[in-house]
Structure 1
């Protein structure tokens, strides 16, 4: 694979980044009026990728007003018109693949592998979204008790969709919301995490600008909480809030949305178990667990958080897992040989190291001691971890592996379910029939047999239960989320009413 060098060395990419470094409102690139600026930094070396003028509250309100008015016209567009625009946007993204991958690496600190993986997932999301253009205004007939009555149900555009995305997979998590919303006749006001604001939102703006999307249908605001407050949640023009992020923030959004009777899709935190049953192939289980724990330094909502291993193979698994983890290369994410890149920022790195300190304080056994160097953390491996410990109770979002012993397969399932979260899970076993049956017993929105926990496909439901969220992403499920269902009847003959 190619080594992706410093973006500042490329005049072409530097010019492209400069174009993207403003908010996009009503089809125009707008400088933020807050008077405050934010440096987007490379998590690996803290070099400045771009300096952003933050949008203020009034600009956010204007974006919603514009989105509301633009959506009225966009909702009248034909499937053919929406297909043309979305296909042109997709082509722009394909033509700029190298720039996009470099920007994913630079803003998120993700490795080359992670960046290419995220890019391909996003391409799949957009391709699926283009197929959604035919889902609105197409009636489905239902039988009526009155033979002279036509009874039909339509899916209509919902209105203005608010999209709020996080720092870890900003490109992919943006495409899975923004493109379906627009394909279904909605307009969008998007707020990417400012740390990854360019790849998380402004690349889409550039693609839509080049594609000829009518002004105001897509608006992407570069701002922070100090400027916006709860405006993205309370604005009266927003019909739906799509959010991916932490559970505490999701709860706040849910409360505000409930008070304002707004619909939501909330994909929140996870404490995802990977269960290695007693009949598992240990070598394969170690491979799955290693990748499922350390992809993107563990900064994925659906990443494995707890590894639960049957006692019969526990010692063998621990030994082979530790040896494999020792071989992982930690360093510059632009180097294609790097397996683990930096944590997104210093605050998050401090938080991860505090989890390590707390585990040591509680006496949890440490068999592989990692090190911190700036925002880089080499892997830690704890074993014999109590499921009620601080370590096992929290979403770590970092390269800390914890292994929990289980006396039986039944106890492994019980341990897996003993958490307030329920996003994703994995079961490793040689008995596929039993594995699928046990998958149904795990309290999670998704469970994968003999694979990693952090999987996503565009044609299946992605989302969690319990404290891990509400709603689902994925083709037919996002169509339901982003449309309004309307019943229409047509009485063909006069009715003789009783009074």
Structure 2
């Protein structure tokens, strides 16, 4: 099994890409990210030192310009039976196409644009806390990050005020300072890319309750209010410490806006009426939906994965057995048979 791991959660996601196949009895190849090859190599070393033996866990690194050729050769090799990939939808399409070319099954966990619906009967304090965590944890560099907040219009002002106040308490800076809860983005280039998306929204009428502040690869949490379909932030995944707020009037409108996305990984609904929340959850087009909880949430025994442009297949629990084994049918004939020929 080939596991292709990303950089944004280098230990967790690389381990996930090979631990589940190993548990199913496979040998594995971890294709490391070009941005954190040393971390991924260490995972392979630790597992080998722990006693798995030579050749059970293999780690391959490559220069960025060689990635396409390396991945093609890995997928094409007859010893490779399946592939799993966690990363961008753009690269996921390439891997899906290559896997299809060689008739190899692929598990793809791709991008996201997770919505949170906050109804008028929600616990606002809990909703604000969950949105802040879901949007800004790990600088928003998580596939499940809360990128869209849909708030019922009757409580929108109160929600925005509380979320803006929460944002002002979040400290951003170097990890050496224990008081900082947000650190560096992947690069200064990422900060510039995200900043351009925010500025595009502001130029088209959006409002920032908290000032936009960046310094190199550091970016303070951003809240964008009043997004519209004309803005890049409405549809594009920012993959940074940014979330947007859009209001709605009816439950049906909220669901329609939540589903107005190419992505479908994680989502959440906040309401003290559980029946109302579950009714909504059933209609949201996502692989995962949490009621009164953050979009950033995972448990090893649960089936984790998305729909639409967020990929297909599931990591976790029993779902992994079907992803990393072949279901076979073996029979034993115990009595002589009569044949028509």
TM-score between both structures, scaled by the size of structure 2: 0.95
Partner Cα distance (1:466, 1:388) in 2: 21
Per the alignment, residue 289 of structure 1 pairs with 131
SS of the residue 1:453 aligns to: coil
Q: Is the 8 A contact 1:422 1:443 kept in 2?
A: yes
Structure 2 equivalent of residue 355 of structure 1: 197
Residue 420 of structure 1, CA deviation: 0.9
**Matched length:** 338
Query: Could you say which residue in structure 1 is the equivalent of 2:43?
Result: 204
Between the aligned partners of 2:118 and 2:23, the Cα distance in structure 1 is 41
- Counterpart position of 1:191: 31
Q: Counterpart in 2 of 1:249?
A: 91
- After TM superposition, list the pairs within 5 Å mapping 1:310-349 onto structure 2: 310-349=152-191
The aligned residue for residue 3 of structure 2 is 163
Task: Write out per-residue CA displacement over residues 76-95 of structure 1, whole angstroms, 9 at most, x where no aligned residue.
Answer: xxxxxxxxxxxxxxxxxxxx
Does the residue aligned with 1:454 lie in a helix, a strand or coil?
coil
Larger Rg: 1
Match 1:217 to one of 56, 73, 92? 56
- 1:155-208: CA deviation from partner (whole Å, max 9, x where unpaired): xxxxxx111111111211122221121222211111121212222x22222222
TM-aligned CA deviation for residue 387 of structure 1: 4.3
* Equivalent position of 2:150 in the other structure: 308
- What is the deviation of 1:316? 0.6
Structure 1 Cα separation of the partners of residues 100 and 21 of structure 2 = 21
* Aligned pair partner of 2:108 in 266, 283, 286: 266
Within the candidate set 269, 277, 289, 1:435 is matched to 277
For residues 109-128 of structure 1, give each alpha carbon's deviation from its aligned partner in whole angstroms, at most 9, with x where no partner exists.
xxxxxxxxxxxxxxxxxxxx
Which residue matches 2:266? 424
Aligned positions of 1:22-421 closer than 5 A: 161-199=1-39, 201-233=40-72, 234-237=75-78, 238-421=80-263
Structure 1 stretches of at least 4 aligned residues deviating more than 4 Å after TM superposition: none
Distance 1:388 1:471, change over 3 A: farther
What residue in structure 2 maps to residue 154 of structure 1?
none
Q: 1:260 to 1:225 in 2, by over 3 A?
A: farther
C-alpha deviation, 1:370, in angstroms: 2.0
Q: Show structure 1 runs of 5+ residues with no match.
A: 1-160
What is the RMSD computed on CA atoms of the aligned residues? Answer: 1.4
The 1:493–1:423 alpha-carbon spacing in structure 2 relative to 1, beyond 3 Å, is same
2-side partners of 1:467 and 1:377: how far apart?
Answer: 27
Q: Which residue of 2 aligns with 1:50?
A: none
C-alpha offsets along residues 424-465 of structure 1, whole Å, 9 cap, x if unaligned? 101111111221221111000000011100111111110000
Q: Is the partner of 2:223 in helix, strand or coil?
A: strand
The answer as to whether partners of 2:5 and 2:17 remain within 8 angstroms in 1 is no
Q: Contact between 1:459 and 1:475, CA under 8 Å: does it hold in 2?
A: yes
* 1:310-342 per-position Cα deviation (integer Å, ceiling 9, x unaligned): 001001111111111011100122333212111
More strand by share: 1
* Residues in 2 aligned to 1:391 and 1:497: alpha-carbon distance in whole angstroms: 66
Aligned-pair distance for 1:397?
A: 0.8
**CA offset at residue 388 of structure 1?**
4.8
Provide the rounded CA distance (Å) in 1 between the counterparts of 2:267 and 2:230: 18
The question of whether the paired residues in 2 share the 8 Å contact of 1:162 and 1:232 is answered with no
Q: Is the counterpart of residue 463 in structure 1 residue 269 in structure 2?
A: no
- Contact 1:278–1:409 (CA<8 Å) still a contact in 2? no
- 1:272/1:388 Cα in 2 relative to 1: closer, same or farther (>3 Å)? farther
Which structure features the higher share of helix residues?
1
